[in-house]
Amino acid sequence: MKNTISHRVADFLKGFPPFSFLHQKDLEKLSEQISIIYKDKDAVIFAENDTTHDSFYVVHKGAVALKKSQKNMVLDMCDEGDIFGLRPLLAQENYIMEAVAYEETILYAIPIAIFKPYALENRTVGNFLIESYASNTKNPYSDIHKDKLYGDDLLTENHHSARDSFDLQPIKYSKKIVTCEPSTTARDIAKIMTKQKVGAILIVDEMLPIGIITDKDLRNKIVTGDYSILTTAETIMTKPVITYPKKMTVTEAQMAMMKSNISYLCLTKDGTINTKAVGILSKHDVMVALGNNPAVLIKALKRAKKTKEIKPIRARIMQLLQGYLDQNIPMTLISKIITELNEACTTRVIEISLEKMSSPPPVKFAWLALGSQGRSEQMLHTDQDNAIVYENVSDVFRDETKVYFLKFATLVNKGLFEIGYDYCPAEMMASNPKWCMSLEEWKNQIHYWITNPGKNEVLLSFIFFDYSLTYGDAAIVDELSESIFENVKANPVFYVHLVSGALQSPSPTGFFRQFLVEQDGANKDNFDIKRRALMPLTDAARVLILSHSVKSISNTAARFEKLAELEPNNSELYLSCSYSFKALLKFRTKQGLLHHDSGQFIALESLSKMEKIKLKRTFKTIKELQELISVRFNISNLV
């Protein structure tokens, strides 16, 4: 007869990680050993410094608060399906916090001795438990969490997966082999190649390849007049023919061509000239296979003559991004590659727009990327944020210079729109006169924002701590940056407003760690991952890095990593912030690619329990970071 209670337990647990990773039979067997515990409101499950229990716990109904007893501060709130009390499984130490029933609660107690073999045998289970345990101590990647279960570090990003990239896939080659005998004349060879529409012909003797003739050979040897058109193949062929086995990767084929400076490879049964040819591989075949390789995409962008030719390249960049995410390549590397490609797209649009202008620029200028693109964090097709700063000119030429750059900027903004970047709803674009000014005008504008720090002025000035040069004169940008930092230094009250602004982002969660969603509008009931999760980290990183007068780093994750160097006592929190930001950016990017949008608004019902857990882990870091800023800058007494 079936144990009805244990089956109910199994049915509940299979909906939540890590139990969802177990086979049904294992889960049912485990459930027979699980105890069901009822706790009244405020009942203590375990206290701080208690010796560890022989079980860890899953909340079935109700909620459990994890607290520091001395300060009575709630560190985390566990609700349905959440795991807590993992310390005895992963560390032989007393509990470092207390667990209290926040309301009437039913718990499942999982015996550690029975469960541990499942964690050891199933690394997915083990990894989840390690991350869950680590998430209660700020940084899942902290050294103190290594060697807890398997004796190696399972928490780092899957760097070796990069070896499985597109360019390491098997190469596709042409099985259409055109051959001739050594005695065939150059004239006949040309006729054969023309009729068969091929760029190379193999010279064979008794079915074995002995040489090759390409279009280039005919141009260089026959068309030049060096040899007669009646010259035989054996005289003008390249020999010996370079052969390889048919099982080649894209990279091996590319490297082979580069090594020998050739455009065609002959593929044979065993890779030598002693067996029959089975295929021909051209440089074009390799280029097609490398279609989403960053280097190939950059070359394609440089060859683009019209803006419309860039749009399909942008689509290929998105395919590359999806491939990198699928292969779990580290987000740091993904961001760098995609940023470079996005900037290359913008640069080519700028170059094409300059060619359309009736005259070259009257003075030196710089095209600035603002916002997420300026921070090298723009992964998806989002709206444009850009500006132009140009050299100062005399009053006589002021108007015509402004007209020139506005006309040019309009072409660029239109071109960017055509390749997939929407126009900025707030018109924060270089085609807007307010965002297209001379160096002196920009200095005056930013000085005004800093010395008159209203809410709008602070928000606008945020942008000018994150910009980056996309195209043009770096010296102009450097001078503008120096001016900004001098203004901030001379006006300390502005920094107070900057700090206050960094703490204005709405909270990601409410009671019981429930996601706070939009209450009205087109995105009602959706979670805004940009405003509630990414922006708090971005704003805090900006404020903290400015407090150290670091000017050269605009990327949020890189800022936190630099802060970890500058403040060793807070390094674990800052590294956790860096990790959290990259995890959130990766999550938003995946959602955007999945739904073909910016990924900003997320329908929570579409997320799995594991996805929600991973998101909530990052929220704890946000809260601790904002607390650090509030205490450090004593913001309550300053605003």
Residue range 308-348, pLDDT digits in tens: 999 999 988 998 898 888 877 888 888 888 998 999 999 99
What predicted TM-score, i.e. pTM, was given to this entire model? 0.66
Residue 496 CA to residue 608 CA, distance in Å, equals 40
Which is more confidently placed, 82 or 429?
A: 429
The total of other beta-carbon atoms located within 10 Å of residue 636's CB is 8
CB 217 within 8 A of CB 237: yes
pLDDT for res 152:
38
pLDDT for res 169:
66
pLDDT for res 133:
63
CB 112 within 8 A of CB 6: no
| SS3 label, residue 470 | strand
pLDDT for res 367:
97
How are strands ordered across the β-sheet holding 35-39? 35-39, 105-111, 55-61, 83-84
In which band, very low, low, confident or very high, does the pLDDT at 547 lie, cut at 50, 70 and 90?
Answer: confident
CB 624 within 8 A of CB 573: yes
Q: Phi/psi of residue 326, each to 5°? A: -60, -35
Domain positions in the chain: 4-156, 169-289, 331-483, 498-637
Domain spanning 331-483: CATH 3.40.50.300: no
The answer on pLDDT for 380 being more than 50 is yes
For 4-156, CATH number? 2.60.120.10
Contacts of 22 (CB under 8 A, 6+ apart): 14, 30, 118, 122, 125
pLDDT for res 34:
94
169-289 fold: CBS-domain (3.10.580)
pLDDT for res 212:
94
Residue 624 CA to residue 618 CA, distance in Å, equals 10
* % of the chain beyond a pLDDT of 90: 44
The answer on pLDDT for 352 being more than 70 is yes
Which is more confidently placed, 79 or 363?
A: 363
Least confident piece of the model among 22-26, 270-274, 462-466, 543-547: 462-466
Burial class of residue 14 (count of CB atoms within 10 Å of its CB; 0-12, 13-18, 19+): middle
Residue 620 CA to residue 617 CA, distance in Å, equals 6
Instruction: Please give the average per-residue pLDDT across 188-202, as a whole number.
Output: 93
Instruction: Please give the average per-residue pLDDT across 123-144, as a whole number.
Output: 60
Residue 174 CA to residue 281 CA, distance in Å, equals 6
Least confident piece of the model among 276-290, 355-369, 482-496, 597-611: 276-290
